[in-house]
Amino acid sequence: MAKFSDLFGRKGGDAEKYPSRLGVTRGNGNGDHINIENFSDVGSRMGEENEVLRNLLTDTGRKIGELDELKDAFDKIVAPFNSTLRALEQEKSQTLGLTGMLEESRSAYETLRTEFYQIEHKATSLEAESEKLREDLELSR
């Protein structure tokens, strides 16, 4: 694809390619003639380049549309995984909470069990002492 500077004018360093027209007189047939074929060539090249550019823009728009469709399809595929992961995280959180409560219950059970055995042992010893005191009382009568 040609550049606009190639089509319409000179570049800064290309002065030798295009001779200066300052000394040329026009109007009496001694000047340069403007060639209509050059304008038609320039116009046809611009038209071709515009068509190429238009096709590129159309292709770009189509590709962007395809990317949007792919994004939507990917979102549809990923959405169930996201909801499943969210549910899994909630279940993990709930499991951690229940595990903590279970550990507290076990700890409380062990504490109560220890207290029960201590009280039972104390009750047994007090019952034995009570029986001994009854026997002493019976003997003293």
Query: In this structure, what DSSP letter does residue 13 have?
Result: T
Q: What is the mean pLDDT of residues 123-138?
A: 94
- SS3 at position 74: helix
| The pLDDT of residue 135 is above 50 | yes
List pLDDT tens digits, range 52-111: 999 999 999 999 999 999 999 999 999 999 999 999 999 999 999 999 999 999 999 999
Distances from the Cα of 17 to the Cα of 9, 13, 29, 40, 42, angstroms: 11, 9, 24, 21, 18
Tell whether pTM > 0.85.
no
- Which residue segment(s) compose the domain that 66 sits in? 34-140
Q: Is 42 part of any domain?
A: yes
Q: Is 19 part of any domain?
A: no
List pLDDT tens digits, range 26-64: 444 555 555 667 888 888 889 999 999 999 999 999 999
Q: Is 73 part of any domain?
A: yes
Q: Is 16 part of any domain?
A: no
Question: Tokens 């207290």 belong to which residue?
Answer: 115
Q: Is 2 part of any domain?
A: no
Chain-centroid distance of CA 45 in Å reads 45
Contact partners, residue 21, CB within 8 Å, separation at least 6: 32
